[in-house]
């Protein structure tokens, strides 16, 4: 179910940069905070992006442009015409195709020096730990609460840093969950009842806000890989695109958190549809066919 | 005690499509009651029937989550800012607030 693809067979990590790569990454490599050493760190890094939609598109795109060596994508959806207002990895000719396929093609077209792993299936309690285990950093671009709690729990239980972003209407939220410094459950202990908080499909979303939030998520990934700057750990960035106000709130580790608190009760992944009170995921037939069978 | 209230987009409809409003109260509970009196339906967006804040809505006094202060009993001061922030699930350069004092913002010329 997992397929790795590299545009030119380059092996991330080991070999010296080619003249083409040196030129390509020169604007990064001349910065003292990156340099050739940092660029190699980027090439040696692996990042999993959950969702190849509004947020996943700009995140994965900037990771690829920057030369992050291995990018994993998880998605099972099909490109719809209504996606093209914001999901920049997909184009008009991709309508009807699996997002994972058009996303991989776009990323490799932008930078053939990176490797793109595709996971053409929904991320579930059955496969999340296995998928996440293969990556250094996890990025959440999911579009529903069940997947958000699932990815949060799996990242924490795997000891991985999670770069989280969400959007709706003209608002965006971004933060970074590092194990031991709070998690999504600390921020929001319980999901809203189904139907109370609308989705982007129900309420709408400004296309460009996905670029703002996704670019910030990508920036936080780079900071984690390069170990530079002050990460959004313990801080929640709120973005209001209408006023262009950026405000910062504190995120604390909740000692009573069932996942990362002092006496945790969650030690393995649970049934997140049940937890969120949502119906089980319905996978489009085209996605099932593209994935080669029933989802895990 | 007049405080400034920030309301996330998703619940702005119940307060007349305002992003920001002034409200009175010496505690978070009184503040919610004041807003509810003017905009019926607001309380249900942020709290249950017993008055407990929903666990999927965060309320911040300035930049601190009131769950780590005194919950709905958190006391408010003149000039405070309170934000109501529901969880968002959509997947669909930060300039910090310049709060007095000297700040240096270099010109950014890079375009590519």
Alpha carbon distance A79, A290 (integer Å): 13
List the Cα angle B43/A173/A154 in 5-degree steps: 105
Question: pLDDT averaged over chain B?
Answer: 83
DSSP A86-149: T-TT--GGGTTSBHHHHHHHHHHHH-TTSEEEEE-S---TTTHHHHHTT-SEEEE--SSHHHHH
Of A87, A170, A254, which is closest to B9 when you measure between CB atoms? Answer: A170
Binned at pLDDT 50, 70 and 90, residue B111 comes out as low
Distance (Å, whole) CA B75 – CA B5: 14
Q: Is the pLDDT of residue B37 over 90?
A: yes
- A183 contacts chain B (CB < 8 A): no
Greatest distance between any 2 Cα atoms in chain B: 55
Per-residue confidence at B23, pLDDT binned at 50, 70, 90? very high
Distance from CA of B30 to the nearest CA of A (A): 22
- pLDDT at position A277 is 84
Q: Which residues of B touch A (CB under 8 A)?
A: 6, 8-10, 19, 54-56, 58, 60, 63-65, 67-68, 83, 85-92, 94-97
Mean pLDDT for B46-50 is 93
Q: What percent of chain B clears pLDDT 90, i.e. is strictly above it?
A: 71
pLDDT at B105 over 50: no
Residue B101 confidence (pLDDT) above 60 = no
Q: Are residues A243 and B19, on separate chains, in Cβ contact within 8 Å?
A: yes
3-state SS, residue B68: helix
**Would the CB atoms of B91 and A192 count as touching at under 8 Å?**
no
Distance in angstroms (rounded) separating the CA atoms of residues B63 and A73: 34
Q: State residue A4's pLDDT score.
A: 45
Decide if pLDDT at B97 tops 60.
no
Closest alpha carbon within chain A to B110: A27
Model's pTM, two decimal places?
Answer: 0.88
Residue B49 has pLDDT above 70, yes or no: yes
A246 part of contact set with chain B, CB < 8 Å: yes
pLDDT of residue A143: 86
Q: Which residues does chain B have within 8 Å of residue A242's beta carbon, measured at their own beta carbons?
A: 19
| B90:A145 CB<8 A | no
The neighbour count for residue A94, using CB atoms within 10 Å, is 21
The answer to whether the complex's ipTM is over 0.90 is: no
Alpha helices in chain B (DSSP H): 28-38, 42-46
For B76, the token pair is: 């408010």
pLDDT for the residue A285: 64
Chain A with chain B: Cβ pairs closer than 8 A:
112
pLDDT recorded at residue B88: 83
pLDDT value, residue A2: 45
Return the H-helix or E-strand segment holding A273: helix A272-276
Across the interface, whether the CB atoms of B87 and A142 are under 8 A apart is answered no
pLDDT surpassing 70 at residue B77: yes
Written as one string, the DSSP assignment of A198-256 is: PPHHHH-B-HHHHHHHHHHHHHHHHHHHHT-S--SBTEEEEEETTTTEEEEEE----TT
Residue A115, C-beta contacts closer than 8 angstroms, at least 6 positions apart: A4, A5, A6, A10, A12, A69, A70, A71
- The mean pLDDT values, 10 residues at a time, for chain A of 296 residues are 44 75 96 96 98 97 98 96 96 97 98 97 96 98 92 98 94 96 95 76 87 98 98 97 95 97 97 84 60 42
pLDDT (average), residues B85-109: 49
Distance of CA A42 to the CA centre of its chain: 16
**A192 with B86: CB under 8 angstroms?**
yes
Cα–Cα distances in angstroms (integers) from residue A74 to residues A71, A236, A266, B111, in the given order:
10, 25, 24, 32
Q: Which two tokens stand for residue A149?
A: 């709690």
B75 is written with which tokens?
A: 């006391």
Report the phi/psi class of residue B16: left, alpha or beta, with left for phi > 0 and alpha for psi in -120 to 50: left
| Cβ-contact A134, A160 below 8 angstroms | no
The pLDDT of residue A49: 98
């Amino acid at each position: 179910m997992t397929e790795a693809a590299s545009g030119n067979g380059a092996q991330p990590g080991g070999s010296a940069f080619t003249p083409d790569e040196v030129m390509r990454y020169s604007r990064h490599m001349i910065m003292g905070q990156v340099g050739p050493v940092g660029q190699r760190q980027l090439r040696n890094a692996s990042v999993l992006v959950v969702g190849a939609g509004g947020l996943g598109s700009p995140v994965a795109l900037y990771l690829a442009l920057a030369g992050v060596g291995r990018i994993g994508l998880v998605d099972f959806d099909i490109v719809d015409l209504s996606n093209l207002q914001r999901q920049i990895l997909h184009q008009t000719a991709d309508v009807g195709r699996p997002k994972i396929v058009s996303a991989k093609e776009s990323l490799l077209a932008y930078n053939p020096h990176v490797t793109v792993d595709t996971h053409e299936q929904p991320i579930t309690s059955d496969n999340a730990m296995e998928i996440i285990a293969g990556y250094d950093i996890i990025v959440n671009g999911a579009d529903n609460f069940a997947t958000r709690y699932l990815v949060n729990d799996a990242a924490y239980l795997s000891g991985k840093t999670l770069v989280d972003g969400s959007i709706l209407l003209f608002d965006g939220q971004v933060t970074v969950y590092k194990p031991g410094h709070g998690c999504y459950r600390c921020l929001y202990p319980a999901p809203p009842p189904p139907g109370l908080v609308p989705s982007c499909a129900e309420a709408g979303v400004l296309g460009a806000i996905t670029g703002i939030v996704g670019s910030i998520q990508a920036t936080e990934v780079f900071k984690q890989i390069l170990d530079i700057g002050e990460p959004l750990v313990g801080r929640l960035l709120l973005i209001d695109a209408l006023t262009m106000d950026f405000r910062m709130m504190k995120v604390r580790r909740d000692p009573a958190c069932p996942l990362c608190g002092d006496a945790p009760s969650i030690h393995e992944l649970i049934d997140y549809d049940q937890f969120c009170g949502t119906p089980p995921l319905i996978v489009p037939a085209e996605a099932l066919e593209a994935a080669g069978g029933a989802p895990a | 005690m007049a405080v400034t209230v920030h309301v996330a987009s998703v619940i702005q409809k119940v307060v007349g499509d305002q992003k920001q409003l002034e409200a009175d109260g010496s505690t978070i509970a009184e503040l919610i009651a004041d807003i509810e009196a003017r905009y019926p339906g607001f309380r249900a967006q942020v709290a249950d029937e017993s008055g407990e804040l929903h666990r999927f809505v965060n309320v911040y006094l300035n930049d601190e989550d009131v769950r780590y202060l005194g919950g709905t009993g958190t006391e408010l001061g003149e000039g405070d800012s309170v934000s109501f922030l529901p969880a968002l699930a959509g997947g669909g350069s930060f300039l910090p607030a310049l709060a007095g004092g000297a700040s240096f913002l270099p010109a950014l010329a890079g375009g590519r």
